[in-house]
Amino acid sequence: MGPDLVNPKWMYLKAIGFVLIAFLCAAGLFLNSIRLDTIVMILLLIWSSARAYYFCFYVIERYIDPGYRFAGLGSAIRHVLRGRSISDQDA
């Protein structure tokens, strides 16, 4: 599997990748009829959405900013857009 991902920039990039997969799959569902490739996209949509949610509520709180607790997806998005970190809160 390899070493743990510890760089926050790579963690964010990974999360963006999960969200992009979800949106691309959702768009593909509207463009295709129910076929094998559509089923695969549905499965990828479910998987990537779950991984993005995991990132928002586990990775950020445990590895990127352990001092911050989120109240929901909106809170997580605001935190990421502001670029806050634990060191910013202490200042």
What is the per-residue DSSP string for 22-51? HHHHHHHHHHS-SSHHHHHHHHHHHHHHHH
Q: Which of 13, 19, 65, 64 is nearest to 45 (CA)?
A: 19
Predicted local distance difference test score (pLDDT) of residue 5: 81
Sign of CA dihedral 5, 26, 40, 37: negative
| Per-residue b or e along 78-87, where b marks 16 or more CB atoms closer than 10 Å to that residue's CB | ebbeeeeeee
Low-confidence ranges of the chain (pLDDT < 70): 1-2, 84-91
Predicted local distance difference test score (pLDDT) of residue 84: 59
57: three-class secondary structure by DSSP: helix
Predicted local distance difference test score (pLDDT) of residue 87: 45
Report residue 70 as tokens. 């989120």
Predicted local distance difference test score (pLDDT) of residue 16: 94
Domains of the chain, residue spans = 8-90
Predicted local distance difference test score (pLDDT) of residue 91: 42
